[in-house]
Amino acid sequence: MMKKKIGRTGSALLMVVLTTLTVALSGCSSDKAGDSAKVETGAETGTDTVTSTETAASTETTDDLSKLTVGIPQDIDGLDPHNSTGAGTREVFYNIFEGLVKADSDGNLNPAVASEYTISEDSKVYTFTLRDGIKFHDGSDVTVEDIKYSLERNMGVDGSEPLIKAYGKIDSVNVLDDSHVEVVLKDADSDFLTQLTVAIIPAANEHPETTPIGTGPYKYVSNSPQENFVVTRFDDYWGEKAYIKDVVFKIEANMDAIVLDLEGGSIDMMARVTPTQVAQLSDKFEVYEGTMNLVQALYLNNAVKPFDDVKVRQALCYAVNPQEIMDFVSEGAGTEVGSAMFPAFSKYYMPELNDTYNTDVDKAKALLAEAGYPNGFEFTITVPSNYGQHVDTAQVISEELKAIGVTANIQEIEWNSWVSDVYSGREYEATVVGIDASTLSASALLSRYVSDNGKNFVNFNSADFDAAYANASAATDDAEKTKYYKECETILSQEAASVYIQDLPEFVVLNKKFTGYVFYPLYVQDIAKIRPAQ
């Protein structure tokens, strides 16, 4: 059955949905022009060697001393990069912290704190060369001991659980000499490089939760909770120096104030604005259009009734129409997704899964009857109020579910409450958010569905999924790994882990006084690329 549309006429409630928007978990930004990386195959050693070529710093002008104010929809969730999990925090921290490698706008992983690396033929030993002369923001030199400390901190060598689940695969981190560190895995993993973007921080910094020190193009100045986060250019940065000297990330939790604040000059830039907001702006702004690179869904708590029944979850999938949601929320823009993978990960994305649940109200009702809910049921969708697209999507879903006798009440809560109650506490029935990838790996999106993963906030539990994911993790052949990842996606779709909807469109507004914004395939804002438009 083809997707069917609900007419716009006679549905005034849905029209109200088009008001404020903004989402929390996608990726955007870029790589400095002139930076390059080359890959050389070591025929004799059976390893791949990657080196980077650095570029000279940009020529300073008086414009380098200008100030940029960037609106962000939520406050950061901590100053320690290893213990902060919010995507909104990650997009800010991209400018402050760097790992051994760093993603660019094309989805490549380039050397950062490391100047080069080698991967053994069996994909078990990753060896890194410390970049010569690289400094922390406090002026101290980065050492191999700092690398070892940072990685082991995420491994949980003190007996605690690994901060990053994938770091449980590490057998040891060994300092070879003053310039080289090797990461030895317990089992082969050809994809592990994607996990090595974790921030390298000073081992001597006893209080990273209050004194953030990294190696990135910007360094921390101050943080006023619920107001702003301030950084300034790091002039001893190893790579190309940022153009703008001072940057303020201003908290813009009230989506209704975005246009006024842009026009009034209190912010120069805002990402993830709505089409309606774009239409209200004057011509002094440039609008950049891309995608958020996330999976927006009606995420269901699989551990609570009635969503512990796969038939109920499937019924909701048949009742919800992604195209209709896109029509009302973003004027038709967006890309439908049928599982936990977005199109930018083209190697893994499976568009055929979009047709697993073509809208069929009769089938949805039949499934509900089989599950013991012939007259439907009532539940609550808990949504972060500062993300308008999610609130609007919840409104459309609530209206659509009436057709199968299901009442979906909407509860809007502040972001911090959402993180503590829904994400961490798992005290909810359903929620609408977007999930992004923290690394350039399919595992970043799929690992959270493993039964015992601490990030599995939907409480999905499937032995078949766990087995398929374990096979993907163990595979050394890329084609085999991809096959198992796709099996994972198929299971999530068939078992209706949640109601998958779309990868949202993204509109970034930048005052024409500035230029240079670039989208990334991850949830980041690369402010170092932005420069005065002169």
Residue 62 confidence (pLDDT) above 50: no
Q: Domain segments of the chain: what residues?
A: 12-21+293-505, 36-58+74-216
Rounded Cα gap, residues 157 and 337, in angstroms: 38
Q: Does domain 36-58+74-216 have CATH number 3.90.380.10?
A: no
Tell if the pTM clears 0.85, that is, is over it: no
Residue with token string 């107001």: 227
Give me the percent of the chain exceeding a pLDDT of 70. Answer: 88
- Residue 527, classified by CB atoms within 10 Å of its CB into exposed (0-12), middle (13-18) or buried (19+), is buried
* Residues 475-502 pLDDT 10s: 878 889 899 999 999 999 999 999 999 9
Give the list of residues 6+ apart from residue 292 with CB closer than 8 angstroms, or none. 23, 25, 26, 27, 28, 272, 434, 436, 503, 504, 505, 506, 523
Q: Does domain 12-21+293-505 have CATH number 1.10.10.60?
A: no
Give the model's pLDDT for residue 437: 82
Residue 56 is classified by DSSP as P
* Residues 90-130 pLDDT 10s: 899 999 999 999 998 888 899 999 999 999 988 899 999 99
* Residues 28-58 pLDDT 10s: 333 332 332 222 323 333 334 444 433 333 3
CA distances from 393 to 49, 72, 191, 283, 421 (A): 46, 20, 34, 29, 20
